[in-house]
Structure 1
Amino acid sequence: MTASRFLDGFTLRDETVNGVRIHFAVAGVGPPVLLLHGHPQTHIVWRKIAPDLVKAGYSVVASDLRGYGDSEKVESHAPHLPYAKREMAKDQVALMRMLGHDRFALVGHDRGGRVAHRMALDHPDAVDRLIVLDIAPTLTMYEQTNQDFATRYFWWFFLIQPEDLPERMIGQDPEYFLRRHINGQVKTPGAVNEDAMAEYLRSYRDPATVHAICEDYRAAATIDLVHDRADADRLIDAPLLAIWGDKGVVGKLYDVTQTWKDKARHVRGRGFPCGHAIPEEAPDALLSEVIDFLAT
């Protein structure tokens, strides 16, 4: 175990759960909170709020999803089952149980929010309350796709192309692709400093990571939709808070709160004056909202 360079006061660990080695940062004592990042980030996306959650009295786990960061890159090809959100959710539930947390609060940004959505459906006994950041449900977004969405979120349609077209193209210049992706979504100058960008790039330069990311998106466009359609009439029982960036694509194209009212029993939502990367762009506002929601 080593000290995290990005999350002050956190220890870095690796554990094998659900047959997969998961890398995570952990700190604190108190009610448990699991933080799940999105693409193309890693667990360090929580660096600006995780230490303060610990100070507020929570036991905090910030995990790298399978395939991302320093977690294991599971071999995967069509039909992309290893990167189904159902499997990714199993990893995280098993990790929390291994750490002694049978029931916990869950905060998911971007891809982590999609894993969190599936987790709340498949493991209602584990998820006490749920916060999703800057997403509408996957099935909703695909079914409502139009030219505007396809243009703004082009990677949803690029990364799902058959292996190894996107892998080979990104591999020609991963830094260019990563920087263009992040800079296109972040609307707050300086929110992602060069130190964090270099850490994201360290992971993105690994061809196995890029393949895993493509498999994550391919699963979202195939097997995840099968699972979501099968559960179309099921509602999440846990209280759900949806937060979005008013300057981002999701906040502009969707009635985010209503999309989640279609999927959960108890929903509230609000937008922040930022882009997609809420944990990096609006950490103080997010921290306040998370603490208030967890306390209710």
Structure 2
Amino acid sequence: MWAPIASILARRFTVVCSDLRGYGDSSKPASQPDHSTYSFRALAADQVQLMRGLGFTTFHLVGHDRGGRAGHRAALDHPDVIRSLAVLDIIPTHTLITSIDHQTAAGYWHWFFLSLPSPTPETLIGHDPDLFFTNSVATWGAGSIDKFDPAQLAEYRRCWNNPEMIRASCEDYRAALTIDFEHDAADLHRTITCPTLAMWGTRGLMARKYDITATWQRRCAELETAAVDGGHFFVDEQPTRTAELLGDYLDRCEQRRGH
């Protein structure tokens, strides 16, 4: 997802792109009964540890979808580490779960399918991963798999055919409806203290169903917003425009820090 964007931002910033725990080529540890292994708290801690290991005690964090949810948790759990946060095409997890209606449920059906007890979703997806994931990409807002860069799509396919990634992704969603919900409920009184950018695709379900600005304003001390023509995968559809908006935002954050 980030390949074309990273190359643009790297002209002005040091860029680190990591696969979340359980995805891509990152580790896929064994699951725990409470699903805590794949909680957003665990995923956020991974990013802080990774950056610390690379010599960065503070950093800006940009995340799309699951990465944005891990970023939200990182900003709450590690406020002295996260310089700024950018969340792309999401609303807070707790808000989404507690406001489900029939239209959101139809669009986010995968949240409930993937969170079914093991091994039901893993077995069904594993029967034909290409069918499941290509159809999912289309129904989640891309409109057509043809909009994806062929090289990036080949990399997606390589990863989603790994049975361990399928298992781990299901655990991610099981955590969202259980331990993540508990963590978020306990922190509803807290706000993100670092500068935050909420960005979304104008044709995505989140933009159609929610006032994204108002939703994040209740959670952030300092919020900026930006909208990009596209669906949920506007990052893949419009990488140049996405990189431009992110770069300008990060520049402003650094300028404020300098003052």
**Does residue 106 of structure 2 align to residue 157 of structure 1?**
no
CA–CA separation in structure 2 for the residues paired with 1:189 and 1:203 = 16
Q: Which residue of 1 aligns with 2:147?
A: 191
Q: Indicate conservation of the 8 Å contact 1:187/1:247, yes or no.
A: no
Instruction: Give 1:166's match in structure 2, choosing from 118, 121, 130.
Output: 121
1:245–1:273 CA contact under 8 A, matched in 2? yes
The reply to whether residue 217 of structure 1 matches residue 195 of structure 2 is: no
1:289 to 232, 245, 248: 245
Q: Within 5 Å, which residues of 2 pair with 1:56-95? A: 57-95=12-50
What per-residue deviation string (whole Å, max 9, x for no partner) do you get for residues 242-277 of structure 1?
011111111111111111111111112122110111
- State the alpha-carbon separation in 2 of the partners of residues 191 and 267 from structure 1: 30
What code does the residue aligned with 1:109 have? H
The amino acid of 1:92's aligned partner reads: Q
**For residue 103 of structure 2, what is the amino acid of its counterpart?**
D
Offset at residue 189 of structure 1 (A): 7.1
Q: Deviations over 1:202-253 (max 9, x none)?
A: 1111111101000000001000010001100000001111011111111111
Instruction: Tell me how far apart the structure 1 counterparts of residues 146 and 23 of structure 2 sit (CA, whole Å).
Output: 24
CA distance in 1: counterparts of 2:243 and 2:66, whole angstroms: 20
Indicate conservation of the 8 Å contact 2:134/2:145, yes or no. no
How does the TM-score come out when normalised to structure 2? 0.94
1:105 equivalent in structure 2: 60
User: Where do 5+ consecutive residues of structure 1 fail to align?
Assistant: 1-44
Deviates more, 1:163-172 or 1:191-200: 191-200
Query: Which is richer in strand?
Result: 1
Contact 2:148 2:236 in 1 (8 A): yes
- Larger fraction in helix: 2
Normalised TM-score (structure 1): 0.83
Q: Which residue of 1 aligns with 2:91?
A: 136
Does residue 231 (structure 1) correspond to residue 177 (structure 2)? The answer is no
Separation in 1 of the partners of 2:32 and 2:150?
A: 33
Alignment CA distance shift 1:165-1:77 (3 Å): farther
Report SS of the residue matched to 2:17.
strand
* 1:123 and 2:61 correspond: no
Alignment of 1:203 with 2:159, yes or no, is yes
d(CA) in 2 for partners of 1:66, 1:238:
24
1:7-45 alpha-carbon deviations (Å, 9 max, x no partner): xxxxxxxxxxxxxxxxxxxxxxxxxxxxxxxxxxxxxx0
Structure 2: tracts of 5 or more residues without a match: 253-259
SS at match of 1:78: coil
Superposition map of 1:2-13 within 5 A: none
Please identify runs of 4+ aligned residues in structure 1 that moved more than 6 A.
none
- Give aligned pairs, total: 251
Q: In 2, Cα distance between the equivalents of 1:249 and 1:279? A: 15
Question: Does structure 2 retain, via aligned residues, the 8 Å contact 1:191–1:281?
Answer: yes
Once the 2 structures are TM-superposed, how far is the Cα of residue 191 of structure 1 from its aligned partner? 3.1
CA distance in 1, matches of 2:146, 2:112: 29
Q: Secondary structure at the match of 1:61?
A: coil
Identity across the alignment (%) = 43
Structure 2 counterpart of 1:37: none
Distance (Å, rounded) in 2 between the aligned partners of 1:120 and 1:190? 35
- Matched residues in 2 for 1:291 and 1:114: separation? 21
- Output the CA distance in 1 between the equivalents of 2:53 and 2:149: 34
Q: Residue by residue, what CA displacement relative to the aligned partner does 1:22-73 show, whole Å, maximum 9, x if unpaired?
A: xxxxxxxxxxxxxxxxxxxxxxx00111011111x21000000010000111
**Aligned partners of 2:55, 2:147: CA distance in 1, in Å?**
34
